[in-house]
Structure 1
Amino acid sequence: MQPYLVSVSRLHEALAFERALEQLVTARRLSSGVEDDVALSLWEGIIMAEMNWKDEAAGAFKAALFLQPDAQLPVRVSPRISEQFDSLRKDVKHSLARRGEATAQVADTPHEEPAQPSATEVPPAARTERTPRSRALLPAIIGGTLAAAGGVSWALSRGELSKLQNTDPTLADLESVDRSVSRGRTLQTTGVGLMSAGVLGLGLAAGMYLLGAPTERGSVSLGTDGRSAFVSGSLP
């Protein structure tokens, strides 16, 4: 993971934002926990904010802050980005505080017990009804993240296509054209793969919410070999 983050930092300094996003997409498959996820989401937010993708940047920053509300940006940024990040941090902390208060209120609410309870009054199904729905959150988060990453990759591929169609001045020779075509194809393939996996995860979450969930835990890994995107493992 660390070599990718160093590469992203250098590309950011060189204003090579599209290449930095490509590195982040590749690095996602190497994430080994919350710390890596936070670092990747913070860099995604910074790069997208530099490209003036305000909504996408906000989504990436929030993804990091919900995992680690006190997270700090890895590099110095412009006042515009810093103000956006600080504002989102306040929103996230406020949202988490409200959730905590709601949980505390539910815990403090007294529950009346019947004088003579019977087995028929509280069937087992009623006691376990919330469990499948709570488990549906994991595939929903995974699906949403994959779909968002796929959207970013697809948008970048459209940027390469626009360069080719509009005869961008940076495409001065055949070699630069070939590189642009190759990069566009890779981004397009990756975007389609990620969005497909994201739709699968969101569909599974909906099914789990409505119909129930299996007991096994799932694991999913995501990667690309430079020409195609692949998802392996099993979802819960």
Structure 2
Amino acid sequence: MDLRIVLGVALMLVSPAWSQPVAASDADFQARMSAASRAYEELDYEHSLEQLDAAKAVARDGGERGRVAILRGIVLADLGRRQDSLAAFKEGLSLLPDASLPVKVSPKVSRDFEEVRRNVQRELARSPRPPPDAPVAMTDAQLVSVPSPGLVPPPAQEEVHRTRSHPVLPLALLGGGVVLGGIGSYVGLQSRSNVNAAREDAFYSDRTAHLDSARGQALAANILLGAAVTAAAGAAVTWLLTGDSPSPRTEVSP
């Protein structure tokens, strides 16, 4: 069977399945945040914190992590843990400096939130981030000396022979994709196992430990699965582009 057909079938089989966690992650994050808000409104603070831990584990970017941190700060403030609340507000506002409080809070919590915002804005003003289009200074190592034209030796005569190359790169990419996919699937199962274990634990510290492990494993699984899909796609594209074209082999004669 033609190797290109095998690569095409493998890509069609793995790509939809491995792209599902990305779409499911967004829905899962929104569901967790909604559940955390409902639990807070019902004064079930422990359950709200659990849902926020789960939402942070599936957050895809800094904006979503900032939303989690701000709501966590509100819950911690109602629990009387003011220092932890201020730290959570700082984390959230560092990621989302213009964010507002997502739920109605007491005047004291609102004052703390705005005070943290002012402190974060002062810190950002002291250490501004460079714009993405700022020029990059060239180091000495990047300066390459150009030899004088008179010192350049004449090019040697070359004889070019056309030979057909073996598809080593597509096979290597496909094999790497399969390995990464297997490892990513295993880590994802471990993450799900830790989430289930956190739900069954009776103590909050144990639940937090399991959820922290699940969060790291979920991130690693997403990275591995994304790399696997990229490797499989690269294998297919590389084979289609280079499978039938001969590659030059150069022999230099003096």
Larger Rg computed on CA atoms: 2
Q: What TM-score comes out, normalization by structure 1 length?
A: 0.49
Structure with more relative contact order (C-alpha pairs < 8 Å, separation 6 or more): 2
